[in-house]
Each structure stands twice: as structure tokens, then as C-alpha cells.
Amino acid sequence: MEENIYAGLKQLGGATVMPHSPEEAVLERVKNPQDVSYLVRFTAPEFTSLCPMTGQPDFAHLMIDYVPGDWLVESKSLKLFLGAFRNHGAFHEDCSVMIARRLVEFLDPQWLRIGAYWYPRGGIPIDVFWQTGEPPKGVWIPEQGVPPYRGRG
């Protein structure tokens, strides 16, 4: 009999409420069914957090790439985790690295990187990049392909 890799998931397939904070958000994972190294990419083009000084919303286009180890992040739980930043006040750098480090701690991937392409605050776009180290050999890792902010024109 084949093992159900989705057994034990609490959020997938059911009604859920957006967590009030990233700390409250529950990430879930499933066993990686593959025995080869490959890249998983999540793109969140409408990520939102709050400026810790003004309380005004900040917007970013996030790209999270990882090469799984034993675990895959369940995508609905990731969506809820990222959505929980809507009410979270932190600087761009803190939000970006916090997301990546939480995923690394939870999944123990072979490799992970985040590209956080923030829209301008005070007229200056801030892009934040972080990764766990050198990418594994033999895995195709495409460029993130997000152009730098150019404004109008």
C-alpha cells in the first residue's frame, strides 16, 4: 500500500484563517517523493509587509528557490506564512532574511536562496538577496529574471 504523503496536514483542503503574525503562522511539509536533486521555485509577486516606522504598507516581488532535501514545503502553508507579514512591521532586509531562515530551519534543504525585489520606499528601491551557500552541482538553477526597478520608462 502506498504511503499518503499528505497525511497529517491541517491546512490543505480546509478553511483557514490568515495568521496575525509570521510567528503565529504554521508551516507544513511533506516528504520529498523524489530521490534526485531538483529546484523548486516559489514566486510571490504581491508580498506585503508594514514599514516599522510609519505603519504604511511596503510591497515586494519575492522569489524563493530551493533544492529540497527530505522535505517539501506545503504551498498553502507557505502562502499563509507569507500573508501573515501583512500586519508585520519590519525593514525590508529583516523580512527577507527572516523568511529564508525560517524555511531553512524548517525544511533543512540542500540549498535555498531568496530574491526580494522591493518597490521604492522614499524613492529608493531596496533589493535583498540571501542564500545558504554554493548551489549543488548538477542542478539547473535559472536566473530569477526580475529586472531592477526602473520606474516610468
Rounded Cα distance, 136 and 124, in Å = 34
Residue 114, beta-bridge partner list: 64, 130
Does residue 51 have an active-site annotation? yes
Query: Which candidate in 51, 94, 95, 108 is catalytic?
Result: 51
Residue 60 β-bridge partners: 47, 118
Rounded distance between C-alpha atoms, residue 49 and residue 85, angstroms: 5
Q: What does the alpha-carbon distance between residue 51 and residue 38 come to, in Å, rounded to a whole number?
A: 35
List residues bridging with 118 in a β-sheet: 60
By residue count, the chain amounts to: 153
Q: Is 65 a catalytic residue?
A: no
Q: Are 103 and 81 in contact (CB under 8 A)?
A: no
One-letter amino acid at 55 equals G
Catalytic residue, chosen from 58, 70, 108, 127, is: 58
Catalytic site residues? 51, 58
